[in-house]
A and B are shown apart, each in its own frame.
Chain A
């Protein structure tokens, strides 16, 4: 009952203006001119003080991108994006990369404080925060600070912004960047390869269990600015890391573009747990504004017995187009995808996963919970593919959708492809509304309708919430409650 009460309290705390991360930070910025061209890419590369080979890599991607077409297969509708009407680089003035905490503009620190992101190591160490989490904070196009770098370094873990990594660890970047999501992969990934501005780089050496949770916090602040971050995580033999990602943006009337690429590589016996709480600005009640979130996330279980687990809580963005996937290359490797996708208002979500079974005795598990409210559209799209040589592959998929109100839509589109008779693939999906009996029961006990719904929804998503690290689980539950505000009557 304690947990239930907690949930109710959280729902009660909800702000009237609902999206509480919608404020804007007033800070002087350094911007590239609007639009996209080879010159802009050169500008970004120069700002990042990148080596020549990196610039070439970007330009290759850009030239490729010019020949590509925007994908249209997802169930999302939006006016054509003018890619020349976007700023591709915006950074707080005088910052071109992370500095020490003391040097960070106090205005920025206040922003992250307001967002509830712990950046002050001493406070964390002094016990103001309960558990230790290392944070890489990305503000528009640059990483402004990365905490606990020294402590991590002692364990052999590299955790820094990708811009720094390109300069400091070119051999690792050359080896791994684009090795999971090739620059030619898809329209948005290719665009990202050309213009990515920052993101995080994580390297966990052989046999190391990362001593703390790592996390990156993305904030889009500037108007008309796209955020194109790139994250690369490598876990060598036997390594383990749990990584968290959070995102918010100010409330604006215009749509903003976010096209990220995340690549994970797990070698023999390595494990990567990647959790996301995505809470970009979803637009207002009339569907004006909000982030276009076009993301390519892919993990490569390159080694035997490796494991990659994606957990996502998607509550924000006007449009979400995102399919965190696993390539199960190593024998006995395992992929997991746990997802909660909440859409309300005019939001459109088309999200899911791909599990590509290539190795022997590989297994995968997909649990997806979609909740649609308002006039939103919420689609699960997933692929499970068992290669001809993938002996004894196992997949279990469960996709449940919940509809709140009769103006929204919930859709399930799984693709199952089996080419080996020793495979066992099981898929089940259901769509329904909140049971009237359940709601009546809860309300009969004196709980108002909106809270009753939040309560039941939290029960519906419990299997996924449990997969999140503790700090995120509470936040995620709260977010789901907030996202569903105003969905009744």
Chain B
């Protein structure tokens, strides 16, 4: 390492390097894991945090947006909160450490720290590409999480809620989840700040759906107003697997939510939905890279964004159809309500298509509330403010309702209404 490289680090980069040094010997892992951590951090140090010159980070210049990083504070104490839906089986991660948990019938669960300690996690601690800053950060610092395996043929009735609650400091978690062949389960992954003090969070979920598995996976990001949330979901869809992936962002100051999805089995189906409610002076980026890698697969992706205040939103969505991935049917839509002139939204939907017998498309709109809709409601005696709230609610409720499970729909609509109540 030469001195010049050190000199060029930003305060945030420096804080990350220092946090790593401070935790040497403390972070769980065998030799292989520690070696991998060292390499990832070194790589991060060399490349630095990505800037807008890196195409994948075009609208989220992490180097300049991430002003500083709080020191790791693994001893901060927080409590679990009530689950999103009453009958959910809870797996808590408090301040980045998996809690004691009640066994869930038929499901194999282990703290991720165990996989780090015995080295079985080493192979998964990789950056997906040279610009994968989240992979590098999380791989360097990850402390715990849960490894979940829904064995082949198992049907889990009640939803499982992974609940990551934290206070100030740094939290780095990872959740590898395997849905065995023909299994069926619903999992909610929730990130919540308990204290509202600034935290720096990185989290990676690795979902593998084996042949014929059917899963609903919901990510509910409710971080605090000063939190940085760097989330990544890596998905592999096997033959005839069906995944409904819902991503709801209703918190955080600086949020990057990456969805890296590989559709690898014929006959599989992906339903991806996203709701992003953005307010105050925040920056939220949802970046999707979806590879349709084999023939005969379907996907639909719909994102609805609402921008208030001085918030800035970003959606990048790339659909990549590999050569020979014939009969791919992929449709993506990103609709944004931009409600203030101080807010902004940038969209980059992208199609990269190397097979000819496909039907692929994307649509994007950015606009204010439809004046005709507003007038209609007003003409029925509903005051403007209320009419606007109804229309905003309706705009996102349409997405949530696609979950079909009534309890989940109701719970998420509750979260959304509460947020809108507070910000609109």
List residues of chain A with CB under 8 Å of any chain B CB: 73, 386, 388, 401, 403-433
Contact = CB atoms under 8 A, between A and B. Distances in A.
Contacts of B376: none
A427 B365 contact: yes
A429 B368 contact: no
A386 B343 CA distance: 12
Interface string B326-349: 100000000010111101111111
Given A406-B326, A414-B349, A429 B362 contact: yes
9 closest A-B pairs by CB: A403-B356, A430-B361, A412-B351, A419-B344, A433-B356, A416-B347, A418-B366, A427-B364, A428-B363
14 contacts: A404-B356, A405-B356, A406-B326, A406-B355, A411-B352, A414-B347, A414-B349, A417-B345, A419-B341, A421-B338, A421-B340, A421-B341, A423-B366, A425-B365
A403 B357 CA distance: 8
Given A403-B353, A414-B349, A431 B361 contact: yes
B361 A429 contact: yes
Contacts of B365: 424-427
B363 A433 contact: no
Q: What's the interface size class on B, roughly? A: 35 or more
A138 B55 CA distance: 38
A338 B357 CA distance: 26
B229 to A, nearest CB: 23
Given A388-B341, A421-B368, A422-B368, A432 B347 contact: no
Contacts of A413: 348, 350
Given A423-B366, A429-B362, A411 B338 contact: no
Interface of B: 55, 58, 323-324, 326, 336, 338-341, 343-368
B352 A425 contact: no
If over half of A's interface residues share one DSSP class (helix, strand or loop), that class is named, otherwise mixed; here it is strand
A411 B350 contact: yes
Contacts of A431: 351, 353, 358-361
Q: Which of B352, B356, B360 has the most CB of A within 10 A?
A: B356
Given A403-B356, A415-B347, A418-B338, 9 more contacts: A406-B324, A408-B356, A411-B353, A413-B348, A414-B347, A416-B364, A424-B365, A424-B366, A433-B358
B341 A429 contact: no
Nearest to B312: A419
B342 to A, nearest CB: 8
B324 A429 contact: no
B356 A406 contact: yes
Nearest to B338: A421
If over half of B's interface residues share one DSSP class (helix, strand or loop), that class is named, otherwise mixed; here it is strand
Nearest to A411: B352
Contacts of A411: 350-353
A416 B338 CA distance: 13
Contacts of B345: 417-418
Nearest to B357: A433
A436 to B, nearest CB: 9
Contacts of B323: 406-407
Given A409-B352, A411-B351, A416-B348, A432 B358 contact: yes
Contacts of B352: 409, 411
A387 B361 CA distance: 27
A412 B362 contact: yes
A406 B363 contact: no
A409 B321 CA distance: 9
A223 B354 CA distance: 35
Contact of A401 (B324, B351, B364): B351
Q: Which of A421, A424, A428, A433 has the most CB of B within 10 A?
A: A421
Contacts of B336: 418
A415 B334 CA distance: 13
B346 A416 contact: yes
A365 to B, nearest CB: 15
Contacts of B346: 415-418
Contact of B344 (A406, A414, A417, A422): A417
A405 B346 CA distance: 34
B420 to A, nearest CB: 17
A429 B349 contact: yes
Nearest to B333: A428
Given A416-B366, A427-B364, A421 B349 contact: no
A388 B344 CA distance: 9
Contact of B353 (A386, A410, A422): A410
Q: Which of B55, B338, B339, B368 has the most CB of A within 10 A?
A: B338
Nearest to B369: A421
A377 to B, nearest CB: 9
Contacts of B360: 430-432
Contacts of A417: 344-346
Contacts of A432: 358-360
A427 to B, nearest CB: 4
Contacts of A386: 366
Contact of A424 (B355, B356, B367): B367
B246 to A, nearest CB: 24
A437 to B, nearest CB: 13
Contacts of B363: 426-429
Q: Which of B58, B323, B354, B368 has the most CB of A within 10 A?
A: B354
A389 to B, nearest CB: 9
Contacts of A419: 341, 343-344
B199 to A, nearest CB: 29
